[in-house]
Every structure is written in C-alpha cells, then in structure tokens.
Amino acid sequence: MDYDKLLNIAAELGCQLMSCGAEIYRVEESMGRLLRAYDLASAEVFAIPNCIIVSLTTPEGHPITRMRRVAGHGTDIQRLERYNDLCRDLCARVPPLEEAQALLGAAEETPRYAPWQVLLGYGVAPAFFAPLFGGGVRDAASAFIAGLGVGVCLLYGGRFLGSNSFLRTVICSAVASLLSLLLVRLGLGRSVDIVTIGVLMVLVPGVALTNAMREIMAGDVFSGLSRTADAILVASAIALGSAAGLAIGRFF
C-alpha cells in the first residue's frame, strides 16, 4: 500500500472539513476512521483550527507524518455534509487509493449553490428575522432588500478584501445599517432598529460560537478559545460597522 498517498488523502479530507466549519472532534474522528478502515489502527491525528497533523507507523516500522495548515475558515453546511458523506462512503467501501483520491477531487469540484440562490437566502433570512423582532410587513420587505445588499458584499467583496474577515464584516455591517436607514427614510420600512438587527443576524457567528463552547466542554480548550476569540472579533466588527453605517447615514 502507498502509505504516503493514504496520508495525503486523510490530510486533505481533514483540511476540507476544517475549512467549512467542522468541529475539531469531527475532523479528528473522520480522519481516524478513514485510516482505521485501511487497517492503520495506530494512526494519530491532532487538529486545531489552523493546523492538522496526522502520523502513522507502517507495518515495517517506518513513521510517516503529514502537517497541513488550514488557511481559511467559514461555515458551509453544504460542503460539510458532502465531505461527511464521502468519509462514510470511503470507510464503508474501502476503495483503492486511486479511486479514493479521485472521489476526493470530485467532491472539491462539485458546484455549490448558484449565486442567485445564495443571494435569495441572504434576502429571505432577514425578512423572516424582522417579524421575529416585532416588525411588520414593511420592515420585512426592507430587511429583504438590505439583506440582498449584504449578500452582494459577501459574494463579490472578497475579490477586493481578500481573506480579511474582520474588514469584510465591518463593511457588510455598515452596508446593512446604512441601507436600513435609507429604506426607512424612503418610507418603505418603519423601524431602523428592527430592520438593521434583522439584517445583521446573517452575520452573527452563531455556529462558530456554539462549536467553541462545545469544544471547551469536550476538553479541546485551545481550539475552543481560538474559536471564541474569532467569534468575539466578528461580533466587534458587526458593532463597529453598524455604528459607522448609521453615523454616515445621519449626515445625509
């Protein structure tokens, strides 16, 4: 067996899971199950939010180690489900390594949701949050339009902002609050606060914070604290951006 290729497949699977928001235990368990499926019970896996290390000892007693740095993070449930299914399939069938590598590559190339579907989600979610906070139909309509604006910033703003999630969140929050204020002034919405809060809910790192608390309670303290710090920074960026947007809007 080509243990180098197997280790590369396991490391790539773990890296993809981590990049789409998987919990630490899920990453380590998925990689461990994959290696055990290929009769490598002695494999060791260690993962933190920005790094994955996996090592094994071949039957000949030769140790092999791989380390992968995870550059970008996010929450992509569609990709997470895809790689989860792939891991289960590989563990159940234990295909040849060439086929496993091809399946992993195919999973990476599988298209995500179309841009119009993502934008629709960014519009519909705030429209449902607005009534939850006490808004009416007009507030929901305003939240829908402002959510579309935030969706455009998130989808296409990455080309100019790169991987700077803090700056991206500040700008998106400013756009959300500014659009909410303008829509209320135009007479479409009634409450700036309700519309703004409804739109900002799509930026709140709820999944990341939940995973952080779960990891702290499970004993993965370093990972949990790292994710908590990241969630706090995102929350700070939301507050800063929304305040900036409202301040800019009041000058007009």
Structure tokens at 130: 């607005």
The pLDDT value given to residue 221: 83
Answer for the pair 203, 176: CB distance below 8 angstroms, yes or no.
yes
> What value does the CA radius of gyration of the chain take, rounded to a whole number of Å?
22
Mapping DSSP to helix (H, G, I), strand (E, B) and coil, where does residue 68 land?
A: strand
pLDDT for the residue numbered 158: 65
Which pLDDT value is given to residue 106?
A: 85
Please indicate, yes or no, whether the overall pTM of this predicted structure exceeds 0.95.
no
> Residue 112 corresponds to which tokens in the numbers above?
């995500």
DSSP string for residues in 135-200: --HHHHHHHHHHHHHHHHHHHHTHHHHTT-HHHHHHHHHHHHHHHHHHHHHTTS-S-HHHHHHHHH
Report the pLDDT value the prediction gives residue 163, as an integer from 0 to 100: 64
- Whether residue 123 contacts residue 151, with contact meaning beta carbons closer than 8 Å, is answered with yes
- Name which of 139, 129, 145 is nearest 202 in CA terms: 129
What per-residue confidence (pLDDT) applies to 197? Answer: 93
CA-CA-CA-CA torsion sign (96, 98, 103, 104): positive
- Helical spans, DSSP H, in 38-164: 77-93, 97-109, 115-132, 137-156, 158-161
- pLDDT in the model for residue 162: 58
pLDDT score, position 21? 82
Q: What is the pLDDT of residues 189-226, one digit of tens each?
A: 888 999 999 999 999 888 888 888 888 888 888 888 88
State residue 159's pLDDT score: 66
Q: Would you give per-residue pLDDT tens digits along the chain (252 residues)?
A: 788 888 899 999 999 999 888 888 889 999 999 998 888 877 889 888 888 999 888 877 788 888 888 876 777 888 888 899 999 999 998 999 899 989 888 887 776 778 888 899 999 999 999 999 988 899 999 999 999 999 888 888 766 665 677 888 899 999 999 999 999 998 888 889 999 999 999 998 888 888 888 888 888 888 888 888 888 888 899 999 999 988 888 776
The answer to whether the CB of 10 falls within 8 A of the CB of 37 is no
Q: What's the order of all strands across the beta sheet hosting 51-57?
A: 44-48, 51-57, 63-69
222: part of which helix (H) or strand (E)?
helix 221-249
The pLDDT assigned to 123 comes to 92
Of 227, 179, 189, 213, the closest CA to residue 73 belongs to 227
